[in-house]
Amino acid sequence: MRPTGKLHLGHLVGALENWVALQNEYQNYHLIADYHALTTNLDTAHIQQNSTDMLIDWLAAGLDPERSPMFRQSQIKEHTELHLIFSMLITAARLERNPAVKEQVRDLHIENVSYGHLGYPVLQAADILLYRGDLVPVGEDQVPHVEITREIARRFNLQYGKVFPEPEAKLTKFARLPGLDGPDRKMSKSTGNTILLADSTDEISRKMRSAVTDPKKVRKNDPGRPEVCLVFTYHQKFNSQEQDEIAANCRIGALGCVECKTRIASAIAHQLEPVREKRAYYESHPAKVQEVLIDGEKRARARAQETMGDVRTAMAIG
């Protein structure tokens, strides 16, 4: 995950909940992709703070550093080394066809794509294969990148002998949570339509008051359509035991949007309470957060060095 600072509900639903569940079944590696952040923003002033904020949210959401190493990409030099070798195994034309980069260029209005930006799926391939990852938990939009990783692994194994697995994408169940500004808008920090894991109960209520609802339900007693309402999507995810009653009362005009929003805000605040408590603990114990990184980086480095040893042997280099 790129270090974008404090995480929001979209991250919780789209990634963190899944990672927490997976740590019971697999050996996980959690990478703070600080080099990847440079592909679209060269300003590094906030990378360190953003990395710490994100790590605190990971811990607060329930990731266990004893089971799953958490580390910064920039601190494991083998990522850049393997990236260089992999960059010889894929053509520029193949990378130019990658739909995810095309979308980013369009959405961020990038006029000239840098060499590093075009090649970031190659760095991702190194991130995954350095740890011989065989499953990559991703949303649908990242599947093309996992495919590039598979192609690179195959190409390497064919050329030098088998070192790498061909990893599979493991799709997240509830991949996309809409933002507060509409059911077809992704929750995203850049558009400011988020609820942060760190938000207080008051902040959640205040933000929820601005959430878009069914535009045809103007007055409290107008019948509404929960199926087109953003707030109802949140009820489905965070207040599922009341969703049938809410849908029925919305449809007959017995429930107003103000009350409906108050109810979902309080359900979300209640669910985030343990996360906020853990967050506050780590914020007031920065040395513990540093320890998590130092220990995670030591374990990740050992695994990365082992892989690079096998890579050099297979290639008869050095």
Query: Does 47 engage in binding with ligand SF4 (CB under 6 A)?
Result: no
Token couple for 212? 């878009």
Q: Dmax of the chain from CA atoms?
A: 76
Q: Measured from the CB atom, is 250 or 269 closer to ligand SF4?
A: 250
Nearer to ligand SF4, 220 or 312 (CB): 220
- Identify the residue among 3, 121, 178, 226 touching ligand SF4 (CB under 6 A): 226
Which member of 126, 136, 231, 275 binds ligand SF4 (CB under 6 A)? 231
CB of 65 to ligand SF4, least distance (A): 39
**178 part of the interface to ligand SF4, by CB under 6 A:** no
Number of residues lying near ligand SF4 (CB under 6 A): 13
**Secondary structure (3-state) at 66:** coil
* Minimum gap (Å) between residue 215 Cβ and ligand SF4: 9
> Does the protein bind ligand SF4 through residue 213 (CB under 6 A)?
yes
180 binds ligand SF4 (CB under 6 A): no
CB neighbour list of residue 207: distance below 8 Å, 6 or more residues apart: 180, 195, 199
Binds ligand SF4 (CB under 6 A): choice among 19, 232, 234, 238: 232
Number of C-beta neighbours around residue 266 at 10 A: 15
Neighbour count for residue 306 (Cβ, 10 Å): 14
Beta bridge partners of 178: 186
Question: How many angstroms separate the first and last alpha carbons of the chain?
Answer: 32
Nearer to ligand SF4, 57 or 214 (CB): 214
Interacting residue with ligand SF4 among 12, 169, 196, 260 (CB under 6 A): 260
| Contact region with ligand SF4 (CB under 6 A), list: 45-53, 74-82, 117-125, 250-258 | 250-258
Asked if 120 and 126 count as a contact pair (C-beta separation under 8 A), the reply is: no
Closer residue to ligand SF4 (CB): 223 or 274? 223
Q: Which residues of 127-163 are buried (b: 16+ CB within 10 A; e: fewer)?
A: bbbbbbbebbbbeeebebbbebbbbbbeebeeebeeb
Mutual orientation of helices 99-107 and 120-129 as an angle, nearest 10°? 130
69 contributes a contact to ligand SF4 by CB under 6 A: no
Positions that interact with ligand SF4 (CB under 6 A):
213-214, 217, 224, 226, 229, 231-232, 250, 255, 257, 260-261
